[in-house]
Structure 1
Amino acid sequence: MTDNTEGAVRPRRSFIFSPGLRPDMFPKALASGTDIVCVELEDGIAPKDKAAAREGGLALFAEPQADDGVERIVRINCLRTEFGIADVQAVLATDTPPPALMLPKVMTPDEIVWLDDLLTERGHDTRLHVIIETNQGLEAAYDIAHASPRIDALFFGGVDMAAELRCKNAWEPLLYARSRVAHAAASVGIDAIDVPYLDLDDLDGMAREATLARDLGFSGKGSIHPKQIPVLNGVFTPDEAAVAHARRILKAFADADTGLVVVDGKLIEKPVLREMSRIIAIAERVSA
């Protein structure tokens, strides 16, 4: 297993899907204000349209992409399916692969190792984002997170997870599963991204759930409509007080050169330095 300590810190506060069948919608998604645009080849595409979506979605990356700060991902089909194998074959066949792949319904670390080996042999630098949305995947989440240094984030697939657990798709019933995903991601220093909030008209409810996810350790949350993105970006952007506090902590440790300092009347230990550095880095990237 491999710890991912090399991935660059970047905002992943929000993401939105763009259908592979509609390449014309990709520019609109990129301009939505989101941090991540994910070209959809999986759940949102009917079986009869999979081949066309694959061709159209991957063709988007035949041309150089703008340096606009938006992370581009393609969600392929489950690696254990015929459609998923065809997606991987298409990625390996192209000389212009997408920067990252989102992998749904991952159950074991072996799936990640298999794909990593293929990408490495082909010479592709493609990053990986893994969705934890099954009971087996949740049980193996820690090992999955450590399976490859290509992994930048774990996504919590709450809708499918609720179906597997036979529980309500709500905060309390899914808290244990969310916590497992957050723990697995944190153990290897990658981001955890929460499931989209499905009530499009309840922006206040979405903000509350996003705040709970942030406090649990998540870095961002999915959206199902562009109007949700500003709210999500606001929740997951460190505010001025948090950034100032992080800077004071870093300065205190730099000045004291010890494992313990007191900042704002509270005892602070050295393990928090990594998170304080991340807060500052995210704030600087967002404001740039």
Structure 2
Amino acid sequence: MRSLLQVPLLDENRIDEALSSKADAICLDWASVGEQPDQSKALGLVKYALARRSAQETTARVFLRIHPMPSLKVDRDLDALIPFRPDGLFLPECETERSIKALSVRLEAQEAIVGLAKASIKIIASVADTPASVFGLQGYDAESDRLVAMTWNAQKLADDLNLRQSETHRSTMLSSPIQLARSLCVLAASSAGVPALDTILDNPADETGFERETSTALRDGFSGKMATHPKQVPIINKIFADRHNGQKSEF
């Protein structure tokens, strides 16, 4: 997986752009949706995106961002979303391997209900989003049949550490704690045998800066990168093309 495009779920035009973007995967942000009537609209758009995926109108895998574990909201997320049979879930603020295992147990039960084979629904885990999660990076299971990629969230971690934005959002000058988390994400993913996807650090509107940032991610051992706009996807796919040539799909 080279490119993972984040998409706000309540914007059908953005979803259409994402599905046509040549991203390897898109992530629809279910967790940020409020209460009714937004949830009803969001579920309709989830159904729409996955119908286009089933009709092979896009090659992008469709992931849905749920709430962090542990939370009662996760069970409600799964009840609402799994009947639509997404390719996978995006788990934010994943603090340890136990979070993956707990989510997998819930998913196995849901898969049985909707008639899917075990481990059909995959997981992308954001594993260095909080100070606690950085200390939980050891021990992610290399034999997991669900985990297909790992990433991290510089903004969330910086907020938790009360770091100034100017010190955390320049890929050429990361503060020490943010750089440590970034490096450990690469090492943890390598140990687990899955791709590490870099987060976005610089201003995404700066295409030159984004290209430089993406090249830095390749140099530092990442296998791909997150994107927030379709125009970033070709940059990511081009820079990471050589690393993925000849490789089989991760799932």
TM-score by length of 1: 0.71
Percent sequence identity is 24
Residues 1:102 and 2:67 are matched in the alignment: no
Among 3, 19, 22, the alignment partner of 2:8 is: 19
Does the 8 Å contact 2:67/2:91 carry over to 1? Answer: yes
Q: Which secondary structure does the structure 2 equivalent of 1:148 belong to? A: coil
Give the TM-score normalised by structure 2.
Answer: 0.80
Residues 206-215 or 54-63, more deviating: 54-63
From 93, 98, 120, give the equivalent of 2:108.
120
Other structure's SS at 1:15 match = strand
Shift of the alpha carbon at 1:127? 0.4
Q: Which runs of 5+ in 1 are unaligned?
A: 1-11, 239-277
Q: Is the 8 A contact 1:113 1:147 kept in 2?
A: no
How far apart are residue 162 of structure 1 and its match? 1.7
User: Is 1:141 aligned to 2:113, yes or no?
Assistant: no
Separation of aligned partners in 2, 1:227 and 1:89: 34
Which amino acid counterpart does residue 236 of structure 1 have in structure 2?
F
Q: Secondary structure at the match of 1:281?
A: coil
Shift of 1:91: 3.4
1:88 pairs with 2:78 = yes
One-letter amino acid of the counterpart of residue 191, structure 1: P
Q: Given the superposition, is the C-alpha separation of residues 91 and 226 from structure 1 closer, same or farther in structure 2, using an over 3 Å criterion?
A: closer
Return the alpha-carbon distance in structure 2 between the equivalents of residues 163 and 49 of structure 1.
30
The offset of 1:62, in angstroms, is: 5.3
1:148-192 Cα deviation digits (max 9, x unpaired): 320000011111112223333233322211111000000121011
- Residues 141, 57 of structure 1: alpha-carbon distance in 2 compared, 3 angstrom cutoff: farther
Paired residue for 1:219? Answer: 223
Q: CA deviation at 1:38?
A: 1.0
1:41–1:57 Cα contact (<8 Å) kept: no
Kept in 1: contact 2:22–2:59 (CA 8 A):
no
Give 1:201's match in structure 2, choosing from 200, 205, 208. Answer: 205
Q: CA deviation at 1:21?
A: 2.1
Distance 1:230 1:197 in 2: 18
CA distance in 2, matches of 1:223, 1:58: 20
Deviation per CA, 1:174-215, whole angstroms, max 9, x where unpaired?
A: 221111100000012101111124513321211222111111
* SS of equivalent residue, structure 1 residue 179: helix
Residue 100 to residue 176, structure 1, CA distance change in 2 (3 Å): same
Give distance in 2, aligned partners of 1:106 and 1:184.
Answer: 13
**Paired AA for residue 90 in structure 1:** A
Report SS of the residue matched to 1:91: helix
Structure 1 residues 51 and 67, CA, compared in 2 at 3 Å: closer, same or farther?
closer
Contact map agreement 2:202 2:213 (CA 8 A) in 1: no
Contact 1:112–1:147 under 8 Å retained in 2: no
Specify the SS of the correspondent of 1:38: strand
Larger radius of gyration: 1
Gaps of 5+ in 2: none
CA contact (8 A) 2:94 2:125 kept: yes
The equivalent residue for 2:68 is 78
